Structure 1
Amino acid sequence: MRILQINLERGWRGGERQTLLTLQGLQALGHAPALVARAGGVLAQRAEAAGVPVHACRGGPGLASFLLSQGGRYDVWHAQTAQAMSVAALLRPVLRVPLVFTRRTAFASSGSQRARRWKWARADALVAISQAAAQAPQDLGLPVSVIPSAVQAVEPAPGRVAALQQTFALEGRRVLVTAAALSPEKDPQTLIEAVAHVCQQFPDVSCLHCGADGAAAADARARVEALGLQDRYLFAGFQPHVADALALADVYVSSSRFEALGTSVLDACLAGLPVVATEVGGHAEILAPDRGLLVAAGDASALARRIVWVLTHPAAAQAMGTRARAYVEQEFSVPGMVASYERLYRRLVAR
């Protein structure tokens, strides 16, 4: 099958990683996938390096032009982001190529319910990465299939791990790690407050925050300075190899207020780490009932207490991480995700 994946995001987050994994998986199965991606974006660069045909464009108008001129050559379109779906939905009646949309968010979408329903209903198959992500279209009466995102084990590079450890003076420290953009929905303020509580009890604890700057970055840095945590709460910026940071971690922590699934939590589970996370969206689907510790969003004190429990109960925490790793290996594999999409594409083409 000729399958066109569409993703115009500039950066590299969970959706972009899932797009590339899908493309590579389809290639391995003998299909002919291609990608429409933003010119100069990280996804376009990585897909080209992986040998995937890439059609670069500079935004929605460029995508529309490509679909009108060349989109009819494909058996299926797969919109991997909301922006891609908006453009594809407008053109779907003209070209009538089967259209799949994967919803990757769990927070409220902008615009009216009527507009959202119109757009989502243009998809021949509407997919969500978790039950949390499926809720909004289901509330509008639309059928949704759940195909979870996938993760694959990545070995840390000893040289890069040593460089991180040296750069942030982590030798001999117990390390908390989070991988999240400094954006409001990730709620770095709550994590900073929790780390402040933990640091009062444990002089050997540091927190390594891996993630690009966003709208919450200035406030997060100001709060760290106000609390005197500059040497304990460490902003590492975007890390292209998160496995290296996870190799230094004793605990993985997520303070997100919204999370459709949480691929960073999946990465941490796959690394065998004990995880403390907010009970939002897909976190509960991954970690409940005994694969991690969950707290209410925004509750810094509860987050700190759970982190302290992990630090003071290492054997039980490690057993929890082992259970999570076994579950994630079984339920969130790349071959499983790609096979689910392949079956979906085949049904649409046959129909």
Structure 2
Amino acid sequence: MKILQVNFEKGWRGGERQTLYCMRAFRDAGHQVSLLARDGQPLAQTAQQEHFTVVTRQRPFEQAWYLLRHARDFDIVHVQTAGSLTWAAITRRFFGKARLVFTRRTSLPVNPQRQWRTLSKWRKADLFVAISQMAAAEPRRLGINPILISSAIEPRQINTAHAQQVRDEFAIGNKKVLATSAALVSVKDPLTLIRAIARLHALRQDFIFLHFGAEGDCSEQARALIQEHGLQQVYHLAGFRQNIEDLYSLFDIFVMASREEALGSSVLDAFALRIPVVSTNAGGLAELLDDERGYLCETGNDEQMAAALQQALAHPIEARSRADKAWQYVQDHHDTGRMSARYLAQFEQLTGQAR
């Protein structure tokens, strides 16, 4: 099969990494894989380095021009973001025998004022995939029945030199490392996280917190709140880092404070490295941490989060037991081979119908 992956997002987050995992897995299975992506962004650059065929454009509407002319050259057009689906839906009538696949990676509720538009473009997809029960909830409410295919993670060799560089940069020494990987945006709720760390620091001073992630709409508030609580030497805004997976080897606890999350692929990374996780119960995070695979707390509740962090730090044997259970869960449910096989089975069914 000839498969076109479409992801026009800026930066490098879970959806972009999952797009690359799909590309690798489909190519390994013997299929021709191409990418339509935004020029100069990490996804396009990484795919080019891995010798994929990559088509780049600068402006979102230029996706439509490319799809208008070339979608029919593929068997499958696999769109990975809602923004790109808009342009794919507009040009869908010109796809010829190509089949349109959309993977929903968010759990955000549909705006009632835009519901009919959203439903209209969702219905253009020949196959609608959701990565979790929460990601599937809104489509189901609107009469669409998605196929569930979970995100995956790839085992990778840790660059210990990279991890050591960051250890030295923040003078970690013998301190415990609590960390997150999330942009400074409201949906990730960094302000609740900072307040939780302030509460924890009032109880113990044997840790630092590393917050990896790009700038966003909460950046100024986050910096002000860190200063307000006197956490300048405790809570470090470490910015966006390439190959963040290398740095997980430094973490004693991984933390997520999201208010909305379809799944949470960064949590899967922590699971794979047997790192205890403290997280809100937002969206798919509750699914991931079910059955005591971590420590759950309510969204926006800094007191609960601080208590969960203290529990994990004060009782390391229990924390390790939960991390072991989470590791086994990842092995059983989130490997790339399983994800690829499920997608390809659906693709083959679609293209068989197309013939």
Same fold, TM-score > 0.5, yes or no: yes
1:76 aligns with 76
**1:209-228 per-position Cα deviation (integer Å, ceiling 9, x unaligned):** 01111111110011001110
Task: Say whether the 8 Å CA contact 2:21–2:154 is kept in structure 1.
Answer: no
Task: Say whether the 8 Å CA contact 1:153–1:271 is kept in structure 2.
Answer: no
1:101 aligns with 102
**1:131-157 per-position Cα deviation (integer Å, ceiling 9, x unaligned):** 000001100011111111111223322
Distance 1:46 1:157 in 2: 17
Percent identity, aligned pairs only, is: 38
1:119 deviation in Å? 0.8
* 4+ residue runs over 3 A deviation: none
User: 2:8 is aligned with what amino acid?
Assistant: L
Alignment of 1:133-148 (within 5 A): 133-148=135-150
User: 2:9 is aligned with what amino acid?
Assistant: E
What is the aligned residue count? 351
Whether 1:290 and 2:295 are equivalent positions in the alignment is: no
Match of 1:234 among 227, 230, 236: 236
Aligned partner of residue 63 in structure 1, secondary structure: helix
1:192 deviation in Å? 0.4
2:308 aligns with 306
**1:269-291 per-position Cα deviation (integer Å, ceiling 9, x unaligned):** 11101111001111111111111
> RMSD across aligned C-alpha pairs, in angstroms?
1.0
Task: Say whether the 8 Å CA contact 1:180–1:186 is kept in structure 2.
Answer: yes
Aligned partner of residue 112 in structure 1, secondary structure: helix
Whether 1:63 and 2:63 are equivalent positions in the alignment is: yes
Task: Say whether the 8 Å CA contact 2:178–2:209 is kept in structure 1.
Answer: yes
1:12 aligns with 12
Distance 1:155 1:275 in 2: 21
1:65 deviation in Å? 1.2
1:63 deviation in Å? 1.0
1:339 aligns with 341
**1:181-205 per-position Cα deviation (integer Å, ceiling 9, x unaligned):** 0000000001101101111111111
Task: Say whether the 8 Å CA contact 2:175–2:206 is kept in structure 1.
Answer: yes
Q: What are the ranges of 5 or more consecutive residues in structure 1 without an aligned counterpart?
A: none
TM-score, structure 1 normalization = 0.98
1:66 deviation in Å? 1.0
Task: Say whether the 8 Å CA contact 1:155–1:243 is kept in structure 2.
Answer: no
2:271 aligns with 269
Aligned partner of residue 77 in structure 2, secondary structure: strand
Match of 2:133 among 115, 131, 134: 131
Match of 1:151 among 150, 153, 160: 153
User: 2:208 is aligned with what amino acid?
Assistant: S
Aligned partner of residue 339 in structure 1, secondary structure: helix
Distance 1:228 1:245 in 2: 25
Distance 1:58 1:281 in 2: 32
Task: Say whether the 8 Å CA contact 2:2–2:32 is kept in structure 1.
Answer: yes
Task: Say whether the 8 Å CA contact 2:71–2:94 is kept in structure 1.
Answer: no
1:67 deviation in Å? 1.1
Task: Say whether the 8 Å CA contact 1:177–1:245 is kept in structure 2.
Answer: no
1:69 deviation in Å? 1.6
1:39 deviation in Å? 1.1
Whether 1:40 and 2:60 are equivalent positions in the alignment is: no
Distance 2:292 2:3 in 1: 39
Distance 1:61 1:290 in 2: 45
TM-score, structure 2 normalization = 0.97
